[in-house]
Each structure stands twice: as C-alpha cells, then as structure tokens.
Amino acid sequence: MDAEKLVTGEKTGRGDKTGTGEKITWCPGCANNAILAAVKEALANLEKKGVVELKDVVAVTGIGCHAKIYDYLNANGFYGLHGRVLPTAMGIKLGNPKLTVIGFGGDGDTYAEGIEHFIHACRYNTDFTMLVHNNQTFALTTGQATPTSEQGFKGASTPTGAVEQPLNPIALALVSGATFVARAFALDVPHLTSLIEQAVQHRGFAVIDILEPCLIWHNNNTTQFFRQHTYKLEESDHNVFDINEALRKAREWDYSSNEDAKIPIGVFYKEIRPTYEEQWQAKTWHAIDRKPDWKRILAGFK
C-alpha cells in the first residue's frame, strides 16, 4: 500500500465498504489519513475472515484532530468528551458485549485529560481496542505540549521549550495491567494494519500507541526521525509473553528526539486473562430478551 498516496487522502480502491465518502478535511499530508486507511483495511480483512461484522463495530472518539475519523468510517459511532473516550467505550461494551468497540484518542486526549481512565482501563481489562494518535502535541488547539512531548519541545504553551520528562505510555500500560500493548508508526500502513487486526481479535483491553508525525505543529522532521530510528519487535527475538522483557523494551526509548534513539514498534506484550465483563457480577442482564412495546413508548412523546 502506497503511504504517500494515503496521506493525501486519495482513494485507494480498497476497503471502500468501510468508508463513508465524506470529504476529508485533515491537513494535506496529515498522517491521520494513513491511520484511517489502516483501520479500514483491518476492518475489511476481519470482516472477510468472519471475525467481525461491520454493523456491530462502534467507533468512539474524543476531541482533537483524530476525532474526524468518525466521519470517514462506515460504522456506528459516538463522539465523546475530551479525555472520556475510554469510559464511554467501556460503557458501550458492557451495555452490549456482542459489539466490537474501537476507541480513538489523541495523546493529549488519552494521556493528559484521560490519564486516570487510561490506567483503570488497563487494570479492568474490558474487551475493546484503544488506538492513540500520538503526535506529541495538542494539534487541534494549535500546538501546546502534551505528556509525550519531548524535552525541549517549543509550542504555544512552551515557547522556550518543554522541561518535563515525557510520559512513557507503553511502560504505563504494562505496569497498569493491559493485556495487549503495542506501538506503531502511522506511515508504515501494512504493519499498523496487522497490529490493529491483532488488537481487535485480542480478548481483553488492547492499546496501540501510534507515532504520528504532525506536519504543522510538531514539524521537527519527525517523519524522517521515526523512519530512521524505529525497528520491528517481531524481527528481533522479543518474547511477547514476558512482562519483564516487555518493560525492558518499553524503556529503550523515552519519547525523546535523541539521535541515538532506538524505537521499538510492534507488540510488546500480550496475556490471556479473564475480561472485566466475564467477571462482572451483573454480566447476564444484557442477555435478557426484551420485548418493548415501541408504539406505546413513542406515543408518550407525542
């Protein structure tokens, strides 16, 4: 798949069933186009395999540039509040466990306003997928620093450079108990597509931190930086079932822009553990066969 065509928003002729045909309004060249293409391709592949039905897919978004993906996916959707993607997605999954729920958030949306929800989502292990569009800046509000902005990042809120050590969301997810933890590079679309397919098929909470260059508000030549410094975990001898090894790999990169950086992408860790809904004391209520009298109910609103 040609990543250069994807980031322009051009049609690829693949996975059209998963698109809406709405005009894409991301900035020209935005890597969100590549993430959209990977999501569409992954859903199309999973539908062909009989793993999911598009009518049962629900996309939950927050507030930010990432949230426009809601407009371009031919799936059920819910626009959430800033930082509240995870509890919304969890509520939808608990309300109807038969649904395939995919959350979309930015790094600010997920790791700043939503950080408490992120920790507990990892801990609860509800069966849904969270995709984080991580461009290391609040792009929609014109370039403020986020928890994953590198030290020295100059933006609207840090004109002299950010001084804080960046948050490492991979390490945080691992120590918080997530059962599927991965990182991707947005412009490696085939690799990202594969990771999304694995995440959706995983039984439990799956999170993918997607490194996404922002051409407008974080244009520190990050595209070239990621191309030069990323390597795939599956091409090394990494054991995805070893939590200690996963933590060592997570700490190889501290979300800095150092020239000696080694940035692992791929699956860091996965574990089979009972999901929240499997252990939930009220887990059977959704299976009750309801026969509401819709005519009577609607008549009450007339």
**Each residue's pLDDT tens digit, 126-163:** 999 999 999 877 777 777 877 877 776 787 787 887 77
| Beta-strand relationship, 263-270 and 180-185 | antiparallel
Residue 298: inside a domain, yes or no?
no
Residue 281: inside a domain, yes or no?
no
How far is residue 167 from each of residues 22, 149, 184, 245, 250, measured CA to CA in Å? 35, 8, 17, 19, 12
Report whether pLDDT(232) > 50. Answer: yes
Report whether pLDDT(206) > 50. Answer: yes
Residue 255: inside a domain, yes or no?
yes
Residue 83: inside a domain, yes or no?
yes
- State how far Cα 142 lies from the chain centre: 21
Place of tokens 């509890």: 87
Residue 293: inside a domain, yes or no?
no
Residue 290: inside a domain, yes or no?
no
Residue 171: inside a domain, yes or no?
yes
What's the total number of domains in the chain? 1
Task: For 118-149, give the secondary structure using H, E and C.
Answer: HHHHHHHCCCCEEEEEECCCECCCCCECCCCC
Q: Cα–Cα distance between 183 and 170 in angstroms, integer?
A: 8
Lowest-pLDDT range, 1-5, 50-54, 168-172, 274-278? Answer: 1-5
Domain harbouring 50, CATH code: 3.40.50.970
Nearest to 133 by CA among 67, 70, 194, 59: 67
Question: Which domain covers residue 72, as residue numbers?
Answer: 3-276
Residue 180: inside a domain, yes or no?
yes
Nearest to 84 by CA among 59, 61, 107: 61
What is the SS3 assignment for 71? helix
**Each residue's pLDDT tens digit, 48-64:** 999 999 999 999 999 88
